[in-house]
Amino acid sequence: MAKRTFSTLEAFLIFLLVIMTVITVALLTLLFVTSGTIENHKDSGNHWFSTTLGSTTTQPPPITQTPNFPSFRNFSGYYIGVGRADCTGQVSDINLMGYGKNGQNARGLLTRLFSRAFILADPDGSNRMAFVSVELCMISQRLRLEVLKRLESKYGSLYRRDNVILSAIHTHSGPAGFFQYTLYILASEGFSNRTFQYIVSGIMKSIDIAHTNLKPGKIFINKGNVANVQINRSPSSYLLNPQSERARYSSNTDKEMLVLKLVDLNGEDLGLISWFAIHPVSMNNSNHFVNSDNMGYAAYLFEQEKNKGYLPGQGPFVAGFASSNLGDVSPNILGPHCVNTGESCDNDKSTCPNGGPSMCMASGPGQDMFESTHIIGRIIYQKAKELYASASQEVTGPVLAAHQWVNMTDVSVQLNATHTVKTCKPALGYSFAAGTIDGVSGLNITQGERKEYGMCAPRFRGLQASVF
């Protein structure tokens, strides 16, 4: 058998893999040597309250029983608690997470980031759940495990992995450095324990406030379509879906907004949870300010409307604008154009004749990204306000929550009437790192590339939205 030779690109990728492995081992070793375990950190970077579990101070016993509410035992509705806390953390000397662009570091603050918690419980306290919407790009497993550990330490078995949901709004203008995976550690230029502690403390504080503020109330649901705020940023990829599937939908994006209206038994406003499919990337990859983008601006507008006389981030009403099936849904509704010539680059590879992919960038409806963020955020806020005001269908039934682990390396997929295949261990085709029309990654990689390295590499760029 003839000896196989590697192409220049293959040899470079193999070399890069070896270097990444060596750097990762070094970074992890340095992390655990210098910062120690999370339980024994000395300085969390947060001065709201102490979260050190290993101190000599006597810890209060865990709260394992449902709080007593003797005045309200047989009412129709739910116990509802809402809470909000700052989780901004570092606003300089930290990478921004989302675009994966080298050198996109934070240089200041545009808007503070918040964690918003909503706790719902049955009237008898038998079942409950906590939903937390956090103004970050993503929630890491390491982040979730630390929050669950602190919840168990404080509340016993009241809040667990099966009834606590942590959801990021997916802003691409929040801090990086809090993931445990090699790829993210490299992209973030390391793990930031200071950022990690800020975020965990903010999430915990929002849950604590919601828990303390539990009161009897009612929930109403409403939904409606939002127009003129989104496009599919990869329509050619969408067309690879079977016609039978595409025929089920009227559009290549989900335009429906779902709103939950939370009020007390007197009808006084407590909070709102809204789910809508849109990428918070009105702020493009030239941005260097920490901010919560369009969804955060919608939350700001709603809370300022309800919390008259309070400063931003204060007041009893909490508005959570949470992410949903945002995938390839972009707020940059004017579409992709070559920034050097103005011509359209709405093609399979999102590339320009002069300058390539780096010159192809989608833009929003405003004169710049700041105005576009305000325009898109305001339309989302106005629709949520309309749906909130007209919500009349009451939510009834027990509070239920579930958590399930799925082994995605062993899932059967029916290709057609005669062929069934199974998934295997995950791998990334290098086109995932191309970025999108909302901002390329800065690497010399083109969208839509189908060449694979490894049997399980994804063939099309449909997975990239989960990374960028």
**Residue numbers belonging to the annotated binding site for Zn(2+):** 170, 279
User: Taking the chain, what is the end-to-end CA distance rounded to the nearest angstrom?
Assistant: 42
DSSP-derived letter for residue 310 is P
Q: Choosing from 330, 350, 363, 372, which is the catalytic residue?
A: 330
3-state secondary structure of 73: coil
Classify each residue of 226-260 as buried b or exposed e, where b means 16 or more C-beta atoms within 10 Å of its C-beta.
Answer: beebbbbbbebbbeeeeeeeeeeeeebbbbebbbb
DSSP-derived letter for residue 430 is G
Strands (E), 47-137: 78-86, 92-97, 105-109, 114-121, 128-134
* Longest alpha-carbon distance in the chain: 83
Catalytic, 350? Answer no
Distance, in Å, from the CA atom of 179 to the CA atom of 248, rounded to the nearest integer, reads 37
3-state secondary structure of 305: helix
> 152 near 62, Cβ under 8 Å?
yes
Reference 437, options 373, 326, 357; nearest CA is 357
* Other CB atoms within 10 Å distance of the CB of residue 74: 6
Classify burial at 137, counting beta carbons within 10 Å of its beta carbon; exposed 0-12, middle 13-18, buried 19 or more.
buried
Residues near 198 by Cβ (< 8 Å), separated by ≥ 6? 44, 45, 46, 87, 88, 89, 90
6, HSE (Cβ side, Cα atoms, 13 Å): 9
Distance, in Å, from the CA atom of 367 to the CA atom of 370, rounded to the nearest integer, reads 8
Just list the catalytic residues: 330
